[in-house]
Amino acid sequence: DTEVTQTPKHLVMGMTNKKSLKCEQHMGHRAMYWYKQKAKKPPELMFVYSYEKLSINESVPSRFSPECPNSSLLNLHLHALQPEDSALYLCASSQGLVLAGGAYEQYFGPGTRLTVT
């Protein structure tokens, strides 16, 4: 199984709502990532978890709160978002962060398309 799954596929939320995005992988990967992607732009790194610990936070506003309950699951909790937060949110995983002589390839999920009204 080389799949990363994400739910929901689409989400529309108001600025006062609280919602969560979910990501799951069963490849035994120990690094998981959240990216934000705007239309016709590259993925923009938000958070990286390594061995279930937050390793990188790219100065993301606190209205985005990541959580890694176990090695297979990654959540992104959303609260008081702004319309400009509307985007495709991609989850990715890789075997690890560091590989001698290179890096591990990232497997991306299909994404959650988020619209904030």
Q: Which residues contact 2 (CB under 8 A, 6 or more apart)?
A: 27, 107
**Helix, strand or coil for residue 83?**
helix
Query: With respect to another protein, which residue has the nearer C-beta, 4 or 81?
Result: 4
**Two structure tokens written together for 1:** 């199984």
- Binding residues (CB under 8 A) for another protein: these are 31, 33, 40-45, 48, 50, 55-56, 58, 90, 92, 97-98, 101-103, 105-111
Q: What angle do CA 33, 57, 76 make, to 5 degrees?
A: 55
- How far apart are CB 98 and another protein at their closest, in Å? 5
- How far apart are CB 104 and another protein at their closest, in Å? 9
**Two structure tokens written together for 30:** 């120990």
- How far apart are CB 101 and another protein at their closest, in Å? 5
3-state class percentages of the chain: helix first, strand second, coil last, to nearest 5: 5, 55, 40
Query: With respect to another protein, which residue has the nearer C-beta, 30 or 63?
Result: 30
Query: With respect to another protein, which residue has the nearer C-beta, 87 or 90?
Result: 90
Query: With respect to another protein, which residue has the nearer C-beta, 3 or 77?
Result: 3
